Structure 1
Amino acid sequence: MKTYRKSRLLSAVLSLAVLLTAIPLGFGAASVTVHAASAQAAPVNPDASPEAVKLLAKLYSISGNGIVTGQHDYLESPDEFMNKLKGTSGTFAALHGYELGVISGQSESTAATQRMNVVNSAINWSKNGGIVVMTFHENLPGTTYDWSNVQKSLSQADFNKYVTPGTTEYNKLIADLDKVAVSLKTLRDAGVPVLWRPYHEMNGDWFWWGKKSNFAQLWNIMYDRFVNYHKLNNLLWVWNPNAPNTWCDPYAGTYPGADKVDILAADIYNNDYMNKYYDSLYALAAGKPIAIGENGEMPSTAKLQLSQRNWVYMMTWGKMLYENNTNDTIKSFMGDSYSLTLDEYKNYVAPAATPTATPTPTATPTATPTPAPTATPTPVSAPAAVTVENGLKGEYFNNMTLSGTPALVRTDAQVNYNWRQAAPASALGIDSFSIRFTGKIKPQYSETYQIITSSDDGIRVWVNGVSVIDSWVKQSGTERVGSIALTAGQLYDIKVEYYENAGDARISLMWQSPSQAKAVVPSSALFTGAANATVSSALMTTLAAAVSTPAPAATAAPVPTATPTPVPTAAPTVVPTPTPTPTPAPTVAPTPTPTPLISGLKAEYFNNATLAGTPALVRNDSAIDFNWRQGSPDAAIGIDFFTVRWTGKIKPSYSETYQIYTTSDDGIRVWINGSLVIDSWVKQSGTERVGSIALNAGQLYDIKVEYYENQGDANIRMMWQSPSQAKGVVPASALFHLSAS
């Protein structure tokens, strides 16, 4: 629980200084599955009231199909924020959260009056078709009604006294439970089903019942007293820990068991909707509904639909409605088609059978992919029909949930785009879109690789089926890093998912290892199957084979049968021939026939600022996109006062005027076809420069780039753009130089 929220009921009584304590934070992510209501829809109390049975069944039916909106109010003013929410959004939330804990120094008579006000509001709310939730911030039994007694530090030994029958402390606990049961009985007698969430956030240590090894005993005592003694059959039991962040223990340690819990919920603050919090609770629930018990920030409905579909309700905590959310956010969330407001909840036709059936078809389509592999043999019978080409398959969607039919499908040489406030293509909007990139990735070294992304907004990366990066949140150019061990020359499945919310849009996929400088993953290391073979893709396949030493053997991996067949037959003759096919023939002619072109540029690194003398390092750089910061490009090079010269060929895809962009710290110069396009040989800090030149599609042009680093940070990036070419780093698939072998 966040202390911002701890202040919720005390604003009128306690000073602000008493309220400020540590605020839990966190980041995260993971995946999702949808479940349906089944026989488990029966409450754990076999004598549950018909109203409770009906409410639970409806929640089961909604799970996976939408999220019930909720708003909490305080004991002293049980309708305040729900009414304010209606004023802002034009509609009520479906779920109304109330408080039965008395924490502001009230007398017994005042406490009784305030609790009665809560009960009356809850009865009216339920009669109007809404859901009632009750929270109970219980003071340590036998102490006064003060917040400090709710947060009272209690040792394990002292806690044990309260859960041991016959002790004085145990008797005080029972007396407190009997007192609050009066309010719950009134609700029972009025036919009001209640989502009862006592002793919440028990996996944290800020309440007297928190982080106790035998917490389940306390839960069981209350359950037995309320169900078997007071016959409170209108209660649905909500076990509600805090999201297991740095300050909280994992869920399982305090779970009372499936026989005493109807719904599992988690309290999530600071917009910390990590998928792992969802996944672990969903797994523990084993088919029971799960919910967001409390939240400060309203969740993203796009994220919910994509990876956390089974949260059945949420509840914004009191004044955090406005402290943590803008009016626009409130209106957007309440107006979203995925969010169920009061009227929508009341009119919701609980298709208990439909949701139950839905997962079944969902499983059937899962089997549908089986035919896809069946189609794979097609290339075997017709190898020429399927060609492996460099890059990844990019599927672009006009929504943030990767749902429906893509508005655009194309091959992207790299994942490295900065669209800013523009669209990736005319078929896409400038905001609220998503992309899925899929294909294969081939490392050059047998090492542990850091996979690095920089994105605005959400990003997820899987390599070889393993989730390496999961940051499915709104963010601004944030860098995320994950690690995975890879073997040189081996092809691994890769999937990258991205969504753009609003504002600037950009995404970059990079990698780094002990032998691999940090850089955008080049086209030469990425592969995808293309239904239509082209000379260009065939050339890329051949060139990819020459990029790394083990490539010939590894290149066969993308299409085990088809790829090797054309290469051995055609490679000896075709490798040199296709290279010049587009037009480059004249350009490449001077090169000896046996010397093949390979992707990327020749890079010469000098340990001086004048490009003088013999290079300290010569290597192939697949693209010019490096951010060394205050490090060195290589052990052979110093961290300051070095220079680099890249030379080779560049091949555009369109006959258009191209803008050549560089961002560098420090000096930069670029020549294309002998023309000086950019000349900024000065000390500068990450400055973008632009030059223009008309180029013809498929033609190979000489390119030379020179760079120098003075002191401090060191980075360089070369991009291009044209009317048909989105702005992005010039990919390895468009850069060539002669092999040294």
Structure 2
Amino acid sequence: MKKRIKYFFTALLVFCFLLPATAQNMVDNKATQETKTLYRNLQLLQGKSILFGHQDDTAYGIAWTGEKGQSDVKKVAGDYPAVYGWDLGHIETGDSLNIDKVPFDRMCQLILEAYERGGVNTISWHLQNPHTGNSSWDVSSDKVVSSILPGGQKHTMYIQWLDNLAEFIRSLKTKDGISVPLLFRPFHEHTGSWFWWGKNLCSKDDYVALWHFTIEYLRDKKQLHNLIYVYSPDFVANKDDYFERYPSDSYVDILGLDLYHREGEVKAAEFISNVKRIMKMLNDYSKVSAKPYVFSETGSSELPMDDWFTNVLYKALTPNKPVYVLVWRNAYDIPGHYYAPYPGHPAGKDLKKFMELSDILFEGKLPNMYK
């Protein structure tokens, strides 16, 4: 009898562990089944595997743009990345091209193709400054965030921007009518002050209010139920800095970090140390909250270290493994602006070596993330 009871409770625990994500641990309790399942699978992979990602991977690369099936990562490593980053900057004003000159209709197709292959899509939003019409980097006023909140001078404009954003997200459906799940990373790197929503450009209360309003509008007013919400500060000195403007567990699904490695080998040890420290902090919080954590943006511009992926990045990510790491884009029109090797680059062999590590997942090694 004791053995039967023991087996029963063991089976019950396994069954509960394998259940799809529930309303209690997602921001959206009406999330689609595919979105819940993706979130649950990210939870299950947390600490075991690291998905490798690349911004705009199939949209363009070194010496090419808009060519079907192309990917610098695939050319070098033999497989597509597991995670695809996209940016919706300029969708707010109805432009046909995003901030990096990717046509939105093409981006839609590439997102669908990545999903159909089993990849994971994440989106950021470098939205324009609503006061000036200039870029996200226009920090000429500290009144922008307050002006787009309810009652603010630019609130009606912001509503229209959210409507335009929602229209694009709603269009991301398969032929069977399935809405593609997306990891949405709004108002990122707010611990710095290079964007108009940055730390020195708005109060803590206004930042949190903007986050709450944006999520509630997309989720409740626009009825978008295929979004997983990612909170991604830049460098922080400690836990208090990281959570100082945290919108609360009820408004965040995934904890993120944006942090780049600059100055090559000179700063490698410092970069590794900072990433390890922050990932340990996120790992500790994840154990309590059950929220996955990710390295949402990183990279070393022009890859001056041939062994950067195995001897810097991988060292920084162990033992506290984020569920994915995403390196920034390979611009086709800005010389020297690339973060993944392309054919002929000396870091290409190291990327392939990185891919072959047992706990690193590119697209071909992914389990089914949606079923």
Normalising by the smaller structure, the TM-score range is 0.7 to 0.9
* Aligned partner of residue 172 in structure 2, secondary structure: helix
8 Å CA contact 2:90–2:97 kept in 1: the answer is no
Q: Give the superposition deviation at 1:107.
A: 7.7
Aligned-partner Cα distance in 2 for 1:79–1:225:
33
The amino acid that maps onto 2:42 is: L
What do residues 534-591 of structure 1 show as CA deviations (whole Å, max 9, x unaligned)?
Answer: xxxxxxxxxxxxxxxxxxxxxxxxxxxxxxxxxxxxxxxxxxxxxxxxxxxxxxxxxx
Aligned-partner Cα distance in 2 for 1:63–1:175:
37
8 Å CA contact 1:75–1:102 kept in 2: the answer is no
8 Å CA contact 2:20–2:40 kept in 1: the answer is no
Equivalences for 1:403-414 in 2 at 5 Å? none
Aligned-partner Cα distance in 2 for 1:327–1:125:
23
The amino acid that maps onto 1:233 is: H
The amino acid that maps onto 2:95 is: E
Distance change (3 Å), C-alpha of 1:155 and 1:253 = farther
Q: Give the superposition deviation at 1:98.
A: 1.1
1:130 and 2:119 are equivalent in the alignment:
yes
* Aligned partner of residue 254 in structure 1, secondary structure: coil
8 Å CA contact 1:201–1:242 kept in 2: the answer is yes
What do residues 689-709 of structure 1 show as CA deviations (whole Å, max 9, x unaligned)?
Answer: xxxxxxxxxxxxxxxxxxxxx
8 Å CA contact 1:82–1:93 kept in 2: the answer is no
More strand by share: 1
Equivalences for 1:429-468 in 2 at 5 Å? none
Q: Give the superposition deviation at 1:39.
A: 8.3
Task: Give the aligned partner of residue 155 of structure 2.
Answer: 170
More helix by share: 2
* Aligned partner of residue 133 in structure 1, secondary structure: strand
What do residues 97-156 of structure 1 show as CA deviations (whole Å, max 9, x unaligned)?
Answer: 1111139xx983445981121111101110111111111111112543x5xx21111544
Q: Give the superposition deviation at 1:168.
A: 2.4
- One of 29, 47, 52 as aligned partner of 1:46: 29
1:340 and 2:361 are equivalent in the alignment:
yes
The amino acid that maps onto 1:127 is: E
Aligned-partner Cα distance in 1 for 2:324–2:340:
16
Aligned-partner Cα distance in 2 for 1:152–1:143:
8
Which runs of 5 or more residues in structure 2 are unaligned? 1-15, 262-267, 301-308, 331-338
Distance change (3 Å), C-alpha of 1:124 and 1:202 = same
* Aligned partner of residue 229 in structure 2, secondary structure: strand
Aligned-partner Cα distance in 2 for 1:131–1:281:
21
* Aligned partner of residue 168 in structure 1, secondary structure: coil
8 Å CA contact 1:239–1:261 kept in 2: the answer is yes
Q: Give the superposition deviation at 1:281.
A: 2.6
Task: Give the aligned partner of residue 130 of structure 2.
Answer: 141
Q: Give the superposition deviation at 1:284.
A: 3.9
Task: Give the aligned partner of residue 261 of structure 1.
Answer: 252
1:108 and 2:95 are equivalent in the alignment:
yes
Task: Give the aligned partner of residue 188 of structure 2.
Answer: 200
Q: Give the superposition deviation at 1:158.
A: 4.2
Distance change (3 Å), C-alpha of 1:40 and 1:140 = farther
The amino acid that maps onto 2:228 is: L
Over aligned residue pairs, what C-alpha RMSD do you find?
3.3
Task: Give the aligned partner of residue 60 of structure 1.
Answer: 43
Task: Give the aligned partner of residue 222 of structure 2.
Answer: 230
Aligned-partner Cα distance in 1 for 2:209–2:297:
24
8 Å CA contact 1:37–1:60 kept in 2: the answer is no
Q: Give the superposition deviation at 1:74.
A: 7.7
8 Å CA contact 2:189–2:233 kept in 1: the answer is yes
Q: Give the superposition deviation at 1:182.
A: 1.2
Distance change (3 Å), C-alpha of 1:154 and 1:343 = same
Equivalences for 1:573-652 in 2 at 5 Å? none
Aligned-partner Cα distance in 1 for 2:59–2:18:
39
8 Å CA contact 2:129–2:144 kept in 1: the answer is no
Aligned-partner Cα distance in 2 for 1:75–1:129:
14
The amino acid that maps onto 1:334 is: M
Task: Give the aligned partner of residue 110 of structure 2.
Answer: 121
Aligned-partner Cα distance in 1 for 2:106–2:114:
12
Which is higher, the Rg of structure 1 or of structure 2? Answer: 1
Aligned-partner Cα distance in 2 for 1:93–1:69:
6
Task: Give the aligned partner of residue 321 of structure 1.
Answer: 340
* Aligned partner of residue 250 in structure 2, secondary structure: helix
Task: Give the aligned partner of residue 74 of structure 2.
Answer: 86
TM-score after normalising by structure 1: 0.38
Aligned-partner Cα distance in 2 for 1:264–1:175:
28
1:151 and 2:137 are equivalent in the alignment:
yes
* Aligned partner of residue 259 in structure 1, secondary structure: helix
* Aligned partner of residue 282 in structure 2, secondary structure: helix
Distance change (3 Å), C-alpha of 1:73 and 1:140 = same
Number of residue equivalences: 306
Aligned-partner Cα distance in 1 for 2:369–2:212:
34
8 Å CA contact 1:79–1:121 kept in 2: the answer is no
- One of 48, 54, 59 as aligned partner of 1:71: 54
* Aligned partner of residue 228 in structure 1, secondary structure: helix
8 Å CA contact 2:20–2:37 kept in 1: the answer is no
Q: Give the superposition deviation at 1:193.
A: 0.5
Q: Give the superposition deviation at 1:55.
A: 0.3
- One of 282, 287, 291 as aligned partner of 1:288: 291
Q: Give the superposition deviation at 1:170.
A: 1.4
The amino acid that maps onto 1:321 is: A
Aligned-partner Cα distance in 1 for 2:290–2:82:
23
Distance change (3 Å), C-alpha of 1:86 and 1:177 = same
Which runs of 5 or more residues in structure 1 are unaligned? 1-35, 351-741
Q: Give the superposition deviation at 1:69.
A: 1.0
* Aligned partner of residue 214 in structure 2, secondary structure: helix
The amino acid that maps onto 1:296 is: G
8 Å CA contact 1:116–1:183 kept in 2: the answer is no
Distance change (3 Å), C-alpha of 1:84 and 1:349 = same
Distance change (3 Å), C-alpha of 1:325 and 1:54 = farther
